[in-house]
């Protein structure tokens, strides 16, 4: 128990409720401080009435709760708030004191890391693993311990340290088990327990057995032994995470065993090791992300149906320490998905929601995309009436709705060695929000609740950049506009993120969705698009919602929300839609064009909003972070245009229906590189062609400096412009460039995204490597020429797409 000064009472007493009851006067015993209101890991703050001199109490139900209570208190002070005023749900007790009780909504609020033993992180955009390198646990775990502190400060209670696509070797050698033990030791002071992902086939692949059949006695013994070794070294092990029978991973179905039999195998091994140190039995998180490759020619085939068809019939067959971990949507972390209908079917099974903090399909930390508004659409989703009342996903996953003992959430975070942990300063807001929302998924039903996405981003901003109202407003406004903007310039109307699903899930490639077995289909053809998921005529997915009224709503085009239209229905491009303003009408194809233009404009506005902060000198952001965020926002604005143009060109080409406003394919301010006079450059096709303006780029033919130049045409009259240059930045090279107007340098840059992004860029000229650099205030006089000089480096042949002279206010 420690004491410290506070603005309110001068003395703060910090400890567990039990210790407080034991050591302090009986007049303030643990009962009177309300310990009975606390659940494990919960805490309370108690402020004495102003006319007494009693200290402020910060008491946890256990030590972890004490830590969370202290962090929460400090986070209020750090925002300049008086905790007593900012505390929600306060009650006044008999002594006149004010009490605020905060309990986690569910027992599981975990983080998953997809770290590999070689030090890489699957879908990680923030550098290398904090835990592993060269096949083993790193010697220096100081940074891992700092990560533990971050996780505790946002209220996380466990971290699964290795990839769901698990390497069987991790739990096989004594050295690795000792290494895991050292990771657990580094996390323990912060109350964060560790869990481990297991590979189902380990008994065979590393254990020397003939089988990995979950019902085979030797397999049971193998896992019992692994579990015992882990508990010996890590007595407070949080549990295991298993991905079976999915995307090539081994699982119980190979032996005709059910997924429940597979899950229970590990759950039973864990159950043998409940110990005081663990303070709850080890939990087996079993992923519902199970699906098979499908035939697209089958109109009724649908990957989205997989989770319910595999897991719903097993409801009630999972042991009590199994939690089925369900991705928020039925496909895969897309920009918009309806909530997974599986949540409504797990009525006798513990369930947790899986969210992705790492922005795999959502800009990979190179785009500002603040995720809580997306998460809210799922947490607040009502599965329809079950047990006579509304079934909100947030109540199902906390276990309250179906009275389940376990439940909660898992967030795939993938922090790494980057200075910013996740790869960008702004993406930390998503981790902070994840912690807040995992602790309290209720989210607030009105604007005053401290758990709304706006309040969370405002709190994060104050904690990160200080309390300048201009900074708080700017960041909050940008953050709240960011997910809708990203949805607009990637895939609107519920068509999913139209990225390259066969490669790195970053840039645009709408054609890659269809024509393969992965099942992320849009079924776009020359007449229309969208997955028909109706029961009447389609895949039947709409009928998977347990609430008949929900199923009926999605069954009809007229009652399906517009932002999920193409998720549930296959419609012609000419399908009429209500327009953005009352009385206005539009069509699906025009909505696609308009949304992509609007999204790119919003992204462009982030750059100016951020710059305006600097101009007003209202900035509480140090120069380094200011510049780093400015760089990312500028990249995003450029890449949003790549997205806009690629998706619009794709649908323009496919549908043959022109943009009503004449924008698509018409770029009066551009000069295509392939149309310039080239020296040492040659034209090259880009794949997909829509990722390049005009379908082509130029690349240097040799190793020396190459040049592309053109007279500036009369359609670009003399004046002052922002010169934008679109080029491609490939992995494995840092080409250098210079832009000149009539021989005078107006800008230079290097293709060094690999140093700036914290993630690998693409090795091809495509939608992932396409990007833009801009130079403001470029003066053009009559008869001027524009030249770009490019010097190759490594694998990068100084590729160029086009230059654009943009008058003020034009986004193109
Ligand atoms: C996505 C992701 C994979 C990951 C998988 C999963 O498909 O692209 O890298 O392994 O999800 O969640 O298991």
The rounded distance, in Å, linking the Cα atoms of 309 and 568 is: 18
Give the per-residue pLDDT at 303.
97
- Determine contact, residues 719/807, Cβ cutoff 8 Å: yes
Q: Return the pLDDT at 35.
A: 72
Q: Is 545 helix (H, G, I), strand (E, B) or coil?
A: coil
Of 786, 790, 808, 809, the C-alpha closest to 799 is: 790
Mean per-residue pLDDT for 466-489? 96
CATH class of 108-465: alpha beta
Q: How far apart are CA 732 and CA 111, in angstroms?
A: 32
Residue 94: per-residue pLDDT: 76
Question: CA-to-CA distance for 139 and 429, rounded, in angstroms?
Answer: 30
Ligand 1 atom with the shortest distance to the CA of 123: 9
Confidence of residue 7 (pLDDT cuts 50, 70, 90): very low
Question: What is the structure's pLDDT at 2?
Answer: 42
Tell whether ligand 1 has an atom less than 6 A from the beta carbon of residue 332. yes
Q: How confident is the model at residue 268 (pLDDT cuts 50, 70, 90)?
A: very high
**pLDDT recorded at residue 45:** 93
Does the C-beta of 123 come closer than 6 Å to ligand 1? yes
Question: How far is CA 462 from its chain centroid?
Answer: 22
Q: Express each pLDDT in 222-233 by its tens digit.
A: 999 999 999 999
Least Cα distance to 570 among 545, 533, 516 occurs for 533
The 10s digit of each residue's pLDDT in 313-327 is 999 999 999 999 999
For residue 440, give the nearest of 385, 387, 400, 497 by alpha carbon.
400
Q: Picking from 37-51, 293-307, 461-475, 570-584, which range would have the lowest pLDDT averaged per residue?
A: 37-51
| DSSP for 682-703, written as a single string | EEEE-SSGGGSGGGEEEEESSS
Give pLDDT, residue 415: 98
Q: How far is the CA of 677 from the centre of ligand 1 (A)?
A: 45
Spatial strand order in the sheet of 90-92: 2-4, 12-16, 56-60, 43-47, 98-102, 90-92
What spacing in Å lies between the alpha carbon of 117 and ligand 1's midpoint? Answer: 17
**Pocket probe mutation, ligand 1, options 113, 242, 332, 354, max atoms within 8 Å of Cβ:** 332
| Total residue count of the chain as it appears in this document | 812
Residue 29: pLDDT band with limits 50, 70, 90: very low
Q: Can you tell me the mean pLDDT for 104-116?
A: 97
The CB of 120 under 6 Å from ligand 1? The reply is no
715-772: per-residue pLDDT in tens?
999 999 999 999 999 999 999 999 999 999 999 999 999 888 877 789 999 999 999 9
* 681-701 per-position pLDDT tens digit: 999 999 999 999 999 999 999
Residue 30: pLDDT band (50, 70, 90) is: very low
Instruction: List helix spans (H) across 213-334.
Output: 217-233, 259-271, 306-311
Could you say which DSSP state residue 340 is in? P
**Given the CA of residue 122, which atom of ligand 1 is nearest to it?**
9
- Answer whether residue 28 shows pLDDT above 60: no
CA 332 to centroid of ligand 1, rounded, Å:
8
164 lines ligand 1 (CB under 6 A): yes
Residue 37 — very low, low, confident or very high, per pLDDT cuts 50/70/90?
A: confident
Average pLDDT in the chain: 93
The verdict on the CB of residue 243 being under 6 Å from ligand 1 is: yes
* Dist CA 516 CA 297 (whole Å): 10
Which residues, other chains included, contact 385 with Cβ-Cβ below 8 Å and sequence gap of 6+? 391, 547, 549
Fold for the domain defined by 510-531+570-655: Alpha-d-glucuronidase, C-terminal Domain (3.90.1330)
Cα distance between residue 801 and residue 676, in whole Å: 11
The answer on pLDDT for 444 being more than 80 is no
Give the three-state DSSP class for 746. strand
Angle at 508 between CA 791 and CA 423, to 5 degrees: 70
Distance from residue 648's CA to the centre of ligand 1 (Å)? 28
Instruction: Using the mean position of ligand 1's atoms as its centre, give its distance from the Cα of residue 92 in Å.
Output: 48
Among 160, 164, 519, residue to substitute to test ligand 1 (most atoms within 8 Å of Cβ)? 164
Nearest to 46 by CA among 36, 54, 57, 61: 57
445 pLDDT band, cuts 50/70/90, is low
DSSP code at position 70: H
3-state secondary structure of 712: coil
How crowded is residue 578: how many other Cβ atoms within 10 Å of its Cβ?
12
Closest CA to 492 of 409, 407, 563: 563
Average pLDDT over residues 36-41: 89
Cβ atoms of 415 and 126 closer than 8 Å: yes
Measured by CA distance, the residue closest to atom 2 of ligand 1 is: 123
Tell me the Cα Rg of the chain.
28
Classify 776 as helix, strand or coil: strand
Largest CA distance in the chain: 91
Q: Is the CB of 165 under 6 A from ligand 1?
A: yes
Closest approach atom of ligand 1 to CA 327:
12
Beta-carbon contacts of 502 under 8 Å, excluding residues fewer than 6 positions away, are 509, 512, 516, 518
Tell me which of 300 and 281 has the higher pLDDT: 300
Ligand 1 midpoint to CA 102 (Å):
34
Looking from the CA of residue 243, the nearest atom of ligand 1 is: 13
Centre of ligand 1 to C-alpha 112, Å, is 12
Report the distance separating Cα 659 and Cα 668, nearest Å. Answer: 16
pLDDT, position 8 = 47
| Region 119-137 average pLDDT | 97
CA of 488 to the centre of ligand 1 (A): 24
Tell me, what's the pLDDT at 581?
Answer: 84
Task: For 435, list phi and psi in degrees, rounded to 5.
Answer: -60, -45
Residue nearest to atom 10 of ligand 1 (CA): 165
- Residues with Cβ within 8 Å of 750's Cβ and at least 6 positions away in sequence, in order, are 734, 735, 736, 737
- Among 199, 247, 340, residue to substitute to test ligand 1 (most atoms within 8 Å of Cβ): 247
Asked if 107 and 42 count as a contact pair (C-beta separation under 8 A), the reply is no
Q: How far apart are the CA of 657 and the centre of ligand 1, in A? A: 36
Residue 1 pLDDT grade (very low, low, confident, very high; cuts 50, 70, 90): very low
CB 148 within 8 A of CB 186: yes
- Assess whether pLDDT exceeds 80 at residue 6: no
Question: How deeply is 656 buried, as exposed, middle or buried, from its count of CB atoms within 10 A (0-12, 13-18, 19+)?
Answer: exposed
The protein residue whose alpha carbon is closest to atom 13 in ligand 1 is 164
Classify burial at 559, counting beta carbons within 10 Å of its beta carbon; exposed 0-12, middle 13-18, buried 19 or more. Answer: exposed
Q: How far is CA 552 from CA 389, 534, 557, in A?
A: 18, 9, 10
Report the nearest atom of ligand 1 relative to the CA of 505: 8
Q: Are strands 43-47 and 585-587 parallel, antiparallel or unpaired?
A: unpaired
For residue 246, the ligand 1 atom closest to its alpha carbon is 13
**Integer Cα distance of 443 and 230 in angstroms:** 37
| Residue 655 pLDDT > 60 | yes
- Asked if residue 133 has a cis previous peptide bond (ω within 30° of 0), the answer is no
Ligand 1 center–CA 191 separation, angstroms = 28
Burial of 334 (0-12, 13-18, 19+ CB in 10 A): buried
Kindly report the number of other CB atoms within 10 A of residue 23's CB atom: 10
Residue 122 Cβ inside 6 Å of ligand 1? The answer reads yes
What is the pTM (predicted TM-score) of this model? 0.96
What is the position in ligand 1's atom list of the atom closest to the CA of 360? 8
Distance (Å, whole) CA 113 – CA 163: 6
Q: Say how many C-beta atoms besides its own lie within 10 A of residue 30's C-beta.
A: 18
Q: Are 133 and 118 in contact (CB under 8 A)?
A: yes
Query: At residue 16, does pLDDT exceed 70?
Result: yes
Residue 9 confidence class, pLDDT cut points 50, 70, 90 = very low
Catalytic residues: 247, 332, 360
Q: Are 341 and 546 in contact (CB under 8 A)?
A: yes
Q: How far is CA 247 from CA 185, 212, 250, 292, 529, in A?
A: 33, 18, 9, 7, 26
> What percentage of residues in the chain have a pLDDT greater than 90?
86
* CB-based contact 351:341 (threshold 8 Å): no
Provide the CA 40 distance to its chain's centre, in angstroms. 28
Q: Which pairing describes strands 2-4 and 12-16: parallel, antiparallel, or unpaired? A: antiparallel
Pocket test residue of 113, 114, 116, 123 for ligand 1, highest count of atoms within 8 A of CB:
123
pLDDT of residue 281: 80
572-626 pLDDT, tens digit per residue, is 999 999 987 888 899 999 999 999 999 999 999 999 999 998 876 656 688 899 9
| pLDDT of res. 24 | 76
CA of 197 to the centre of ligand 1 (A): 14
Question: Mind listing the pLDDT tens digit for each residue in 350-386?
Answer: 999 999 999 999 999 999 999 999 999 999 999 998 8
Least confident of 3-12, 243-252, 513-522, 557-566: 3-12
Q: Is the CB of 245 under 6 A from ligand 1?
A: no
Question: Considering the domain 2-102, what is its CATH architecture?
Answer: 2-Layer Sandwich (3.30)
**Would you list the domain boundaries of the chain?**
2-102, 108-465, 510-531+570-655, 670-806
Q: Whose CA is nearest to atom 11 of ligand 1?
A: 332
Q: Which of 167, 285, 303, 360 has most ligand 1 atoms within 8 Å of CB, for mutation?
A: 360
Q: Per CATH, which fold does 670-806 belong to?
A: Jelly Rolls (2.60.120)
Give which of 798, 775, 768, 428 is closest to 628, Cα–Cα.
428
Give the CA distances from residue 213 to residues 223, 255, 265, 341, in Å, rounded to whole numbers and listed in that order.
12, 6, 10, 30
């Amino acid at each position: 128990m420690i004491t410290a000064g506070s603005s309110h009472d001068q003395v703060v007493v910090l400890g567990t409720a039990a210790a407080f009851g034991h050591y302090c006067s009986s007049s303030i015993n643990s009962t009177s401080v309300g310990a009975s209101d606390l659940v494990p890991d919960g805490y309370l703050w108690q402020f004495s009435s102003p006319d007494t001199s009693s200290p402020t109490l910060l008491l946890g139900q256990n030590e972890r709760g004490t830590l969370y209570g202290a962090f929460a208190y400090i986070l209020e002070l750090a925002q300049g708030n008086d905790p007593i005023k900012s505390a929600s749900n306060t009650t006044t007790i008999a002594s006149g004191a004010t009490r605020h009780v905060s309990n986690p909504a569910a027992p599981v609020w975990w983080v998953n890391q997809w770290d590999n033993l070689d030090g890489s992180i699957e879908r990680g955009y923030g550098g290398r693993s904090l835990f592993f390198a060269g096949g083993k646990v790193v010697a220096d775990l100081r940074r891992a311990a700092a990560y533990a502190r971050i996780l505790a400060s946002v209220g996380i209670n466990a971290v699964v340290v290795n990839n769901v696509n698990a390497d069987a070797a991790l739990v096989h050698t004594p050295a690795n088990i000792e290494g895991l033990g050292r990771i657990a030791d580094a996390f323990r002071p912060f109350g964060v327990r560790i869990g481990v992902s297991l590979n189902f086939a380990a008994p065979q692949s590393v254990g020397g057995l003939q089988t990995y059949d979950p019902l085979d006695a030797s397999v049971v013994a193998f896992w019992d032994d692994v579990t015992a070794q882990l508990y010996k070294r890590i007595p407070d092990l949080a549990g295991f995470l298993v991905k079976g029978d999915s995307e090539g991973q081994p699982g119980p179905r190979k032996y005709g065993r059910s997924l429940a039999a597979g899950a229970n195998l590990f759950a039973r091994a864990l159950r043998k090791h409940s110990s005081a140190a663990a303070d709850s039995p080890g939990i087996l998180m079993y992923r519902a992300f199970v699906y098979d490759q499908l035939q697209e020619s089958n109109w009724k085939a649908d990957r989205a149906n997989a989770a319910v068809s595999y897991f719903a019939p097993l409801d009630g067959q999972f042991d009590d320490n199994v939690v089925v971990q369900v991705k928020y949507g039925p496909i895969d972390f897309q920009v918009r998905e309806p909530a997974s209908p599986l949540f409504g079917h797990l009525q006798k099974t513990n369930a947790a929601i899986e969210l992705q903090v790492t922005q795999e399909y959502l800009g990979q930390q190179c785009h500002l995309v603040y995720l809580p508004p997306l998460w809210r659409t799922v947490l607040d989703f009502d599965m329809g009436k079950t047990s006579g009342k509304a079934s909100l996903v947030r109540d199902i996953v906390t276990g309250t709705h179906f009275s389940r003992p376990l439940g909660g959430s898992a967030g795939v975070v993938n922090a790494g060695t980057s200075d910013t942990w996740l790869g960008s300063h702004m993406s930390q807001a998503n981790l902070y929000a994840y912690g807040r929302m995992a602790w309290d998924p209720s989210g607030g039903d009105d604007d005053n609740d401290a758990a709304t996405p706006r309040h969370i981003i405002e709190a994060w901003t104050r904690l990160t950049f200080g309390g300048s109202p201009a900074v708080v407003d700017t960041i909050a406004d940008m953050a709240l506009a960011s997910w809708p903007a990203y949805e607009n310039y990637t895939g609107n109307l519920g068509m999913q993120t139209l990225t390259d699903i066969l490669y790195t899930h970053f840039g645009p490639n709408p054609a890659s969705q269809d024509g393969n077995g992965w099942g992320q289909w849009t079924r776009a053809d020359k007449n229309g698009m969208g997955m028909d998921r109706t029961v009447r005529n389609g895949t039947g997915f709409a009928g998977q919602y347990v609430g008949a009224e929900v199923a009926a709503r999605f069954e009809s085009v007229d009652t399906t929300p517009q932002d999920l239209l193409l998720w549930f229905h296959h419609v012609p491009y000419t399908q009429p839609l209500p327009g953005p303003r009352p009385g206005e009408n539009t069509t699906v194809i025009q909505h696609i064009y308009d949304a992509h233009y609007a999204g790119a404009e919003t992204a462009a506005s982030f750059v100016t909003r951020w710059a305006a902060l600097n101009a007003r000198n209202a900035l509480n952001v140090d120069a380094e972070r200011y510049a780093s965020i400015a760089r990312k926002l500028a990249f995003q604005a450029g890449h949003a245009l790549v997205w806009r143009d690629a998706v619009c060109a794709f649908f323009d080409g496919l549908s043959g229906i022109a943009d009503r406003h004449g924008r698509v394919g018409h770029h009066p301010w551009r000069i295509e590189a392939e149309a310039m006079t080239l020296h040492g450059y040659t034209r090259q096709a880009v794949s997909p062609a829509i990722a390049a303006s005009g379908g082509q780029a130029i690349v240097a033919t040799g190793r020396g400096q190459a040049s592309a130049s053109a007279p500036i045409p009369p359609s670009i009259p003399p004046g002052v412009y922002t010169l934008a240059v679109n080029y491609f930045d490939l992995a494995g090279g840092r080409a250098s460039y210079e832009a000149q107007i009539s021989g005078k340098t107006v800008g230079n840059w290097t293709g060094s995204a690999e140093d700036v992004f914290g993630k690998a860029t693409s090795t091809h000229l495509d939608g992932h490597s396409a990007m833009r650099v801009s130079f403001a205030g470029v003066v053009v006089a009559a008869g001027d020429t524009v030249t770009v000089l490019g010097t190759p480096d490594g694998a990068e042949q100084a590729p160029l797409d086009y230059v654009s002279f943009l008058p003020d206010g034009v986004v193109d």
